[in-house]
Chain A
Amino acid sequence: MARGAADLAVHDAVFCDELKAALARTERIGVSLRQPDGTIFRTQAMGQPGPYFINFDGKKLKPKMAIEVKRRKCEVLNRVQVTNLYLHDGELAGFTGFDIRSGDFYRIRAKAVVIATGNTNRMFNAQIGNPFNLWYCPANTGDLHRAAFDAGVALANMEYVRMTIVPKGFSAPGFNAFFGMGAQLVNSLLEPFMTKYHEMGNKAPRNYMVWGALQELKEGRGPIYMDCRHLKPKELEHLFFTLGIDKDTLPEFLLAKGYAKEGCLIEMTVSEPMQARPSELCGSGIRIDRTCASNVPGIFAAGDASDQMGCLHMAMAGGYAAGRHAAAYAQKIVHLRPLEPAAMAAEEARVFRPLERKHGVTYREFENIVRVICTDHFGPVKTELSLTGALAKLDRLDAARDELRADNMHELMRAHEAMNIHAVSKISARAALARRESRFHPYHYRADYPHTDDANYCGLMVIQQQPGGGVTTRLERLEYAA
Chain B
Amino acid sequence: MPAVIDPAKCNGCELCDLYCPVDVIHMEGKVAVVRYPDECWHCGACRQECARDAIRFEFPLAMLTV
Chain A interface residues (CB < 8 Å from chain B): 59, 63, 78-79, 100, 127-130, 132-134, 137-139, 168-170, 172, 247-249, 252-253, 256-257, 410, 413
Query: How far is it, in angstroms, between the C-alpha of A256 and the C-alpha of B42 when the chains are bound?
Result: 14
CB of A249 within 8 A of CB of B43, answer: yes
CB-defined A-B contacts under 8 Å, sample of 22: A59-B48, A63-B49, A128-B60, A128-B63, A132-B40, A133-B41, A133-B63, A134-B41, A139-B21, A139-B22, A169-B64, A170-B59, A248-B44, A249-B42, A252-B57, A253-B59, A253-B63, A256-B59, A256-B64, A257-B64, A410-B36, A413-B23
* Closest residue on chain B to residue A128 by CB atoms: B62
Asked whether, in the complex, the Cβ of A249 is within 8 Å of the Cβ of B57, the reply is: yes
User: In the complex, what's the smallest C-beta–C-beta distance from B2 to chain A, in angstroms?
Assistant: 8
Nearest 4 CB-CB pairings of A with B: A248-B44, A128-B62, A169-B63, A249-B42
Of B36, B44, B45, B62, which contacts A169 at CB under 8 A?
B62
CB <8 Å contact, B64 and A132: no
Main secondary structure of the interface of A (DSSP, over half): loop
Instruction: Give the most central of A78, A134, A248: most B CB within 10 Å.
Output: A248
Beta-carbon contact of A248 and B45 below 8 Å: yes
A132 touching B66 in the complex, CB below 8 Å, given contacts A138-B39, A248-B43, A248-B45: no
- Say whether A132 contacts B63, CB under 8 Å: no
Q: Are B62 and A132 in contact (CB under 8 A)?
A: no
Q: Judge whether B28 is part of the interface by a CB distance below 8 angstroms.
A: no
Total B residues in contact with A, Cβ cutoff 8 Å: 26
Query: Are A132 and B22 touching (Cβ within 8 A)?
Result: yes
Listed in ascending order, the chain B residues whose CB lies under 8 Å from chain A are 18-19, 21-23, 35-36, 38-45, 47-49, 57, 59-60, 62-66
Closest residue of chain B to A132, judged by CB? B39
Given contacts A130-B38, A132-B39, A410-B36, contact A63 B63 (CB under 8 A): no
| Residue numbers in B under 8 Å from A78 (CB-CB) | 18
How long is the Cα–Cα vector from A249 to B59 in the complex, in angstroms?
10
Instruction: Give complex CA distance A169, B2 in Å.
Output: 13
In the bound assembly, the distance between CA atoms of A26 and B62 in angstroms comes to: 39
Task: Report chain A residues within 8 Å CB of B18.
Answer: 78
Q: Give chain B nearest CB distance to A225 CB in angstroms.
A: 14
**A257 to B: closest C-beta gap in Å:** 6
| Residues in A neighbouring B49, C-beta threshold 8 A | 63
Question: Which A residue's beta carbon lies closest to that of B65?
Answer: A169
Contact A100:B23 (CB < 8 A) given known A138-B41, A248-B45, A252-B57: yes
Known A132-B38, A132-B39, A249-B57; judge A137-B21 contact (CB<8 A).
Answer: yes
From A59, A79, A168, A172, give the contact of B66 (CB < 8 A): A168
A249 to B64, CA, bound (A): 13
CA distance A168 to B59 in the complex (A): 13
Residues of A within 8 A of B36 (CB): 410
Contacts of B64 in A (CB 8 A): 169, 253, 256-257
Q: What is the distance, in angstroms, from A210's C-beta to the closest C-beta of chain B? A: 19
Expressed in whole angstroms, the Cα–Cα distance for A230 and B38 within the complex equals 37
Instruction: Tell me which residues across on chain A come within 8 A of B21, comparing CB atoms.
Output: 137, 139
Q: B41: shortest Cβ distance to chain A, in Å?
A: 6
Give bound CA distance, A79 to B41, whole Å: 17
In the complex, what's the smallest C-beta–C-beta distance from A386 to chain B, in angstroms? 27
Neighbouring B residues of A410 by C-beta, 8 Å: 23, 35-36
With A137-B41, A139-B22, A410-B23 in contact, is A248–B66 under 8 Å at CB?
Answer: no
